[in-house]
Chain A
Amino acid sequence: MDVIAHTVDAKGQSCPGPLVALARAIKDAEPGELFELLATDPGSRSDVPSWADLSGNELVDAETLEDGSFRYVIRKVA
């Protein structure tokens, strides 16, 4: 099973904070590495898929956690 290589905790940050944090973390990663993004910004529900689409990375999983925050799993492609 694939292992999450990095966790980006962007809880509390608003647009575009979580995306910028994710983009910075993912920049120097190897293709195929998995990232976990934690966020509380409700806008991230539409923004993270859009970001994946624009940047050419793969959104593997998106879920709302019990505390109402959001968790995304992204695979670095390019």
Chain B
Amino acid sequence: MATTEAEVPTTSLTDLLERVEALEAEQRNQIKKKNKLTIIAWGGSLDQIWPTTILATTAAASGMEASVFFTFWGLFAIVRPGVRITGENWMQKMMSVMNPGSAQKAKLSHYHFAGAGPAMFKKLADDHHVAKPDELIGLANDLGVRLIPCQMTMDLLGLKREDLIDGLEEPIGAATAIAEMRDAAVSLFI
């Protein structure tokens, strides 16, 4: 009488080895780095740029690779303090008036109250010794966080490289941002 084992189609060792090899190759192609965080900093308001900079600095301090891609409103957070009106035409200039540059000037998305909200927030931050976003951006730089502006938004808003703070990487495009995210185990859009 035939045993059950005999009915099971046997796989040869060569087959198995080939399959293992194929799986290993596939795994090598999944190039997610466990130790990498990428943040798309889309929002420029204080309550967005703050967690963005806290998470990026903490990741870097924990030995992770960290990169932040600044796009749209997020770009205004890395405008050099003191740079007032940017852009070439009236639309771009108006944008810069509506979004005063640098993280220090960031508005709150809620309860802005003509600047009273952020002022209160910063007072609370001082009382609790919480570093503010502009300090955290400097810290991020020191810790080796890669701060990368979006070329397309720069063009759209008429922002030039010299309008932005020091310590940034060369501006990149969406494909490079996606490549950054693909490499990272943690990708956030803030």
Contacts and interface: CB of A to CB of B under 8 A. Distances in A.
Interface in B40-73: 54, 57-64
B129 A19 contact: no
B57 A14 contact: no
Q: How large is the interface on B (under 10, 10 to 19, 20 to 34, 35 or more residues)?
A: 10 to 19
Given A16-B58, A19-B58, A20-B57, A56 B63 contact: yes
B128 interface: yes
Contact of A16 (B35, B61, B128): B61
Contact of A54 (B54, B63, B139, B143): B63
Given A12-B129, A15-B130, A17-B129, A23 B62 contact: yes
B131 interface: yes
Contacts of A69: none
B61 A23 contact: yes
B58 A20 contact: yes
A23 B60 CA distance: 9
25 contacts: A13-B129, A14-B130, A16-B57, A16-B58, A16-B61, A16-B131, A17-B129, A19-B58, A19-B61, A19-B62, A20-B58, A20-B139, A23-B60, A23-B61, A23-B143, A24-B61, A24-B143, A50-B62, A51-B61, A51-B62, A54-B63, A54-B64, A55-B63, A56-B63, A78-B63
A55 B67 CA distance: 17
B132 to A, nearest CB: 11
A33 to B, nearest CB: 16
Contact of B129 (A14, A22, A23, A55): A14
Contacts of A24: 61, 143
Given A15-B130, A17-B130, 12 more contacts: A16-B54, A16-B58, A17-B129, A19-B58, A19-B62, A20-B58, A23-B61, A50-B62, A51-B61, A54-B63, A55-B63, A56-B63
Contacts of A22: 61
A8 to B, nearest CB: 12
A16 B131 CA distance: 8
Contact of B62 (A12, A14, A54): A54
Contacts of B139: 20
Among B61, B63, B128, residue most surrounded by chain A Cβ atoms (within 10 Å): B61
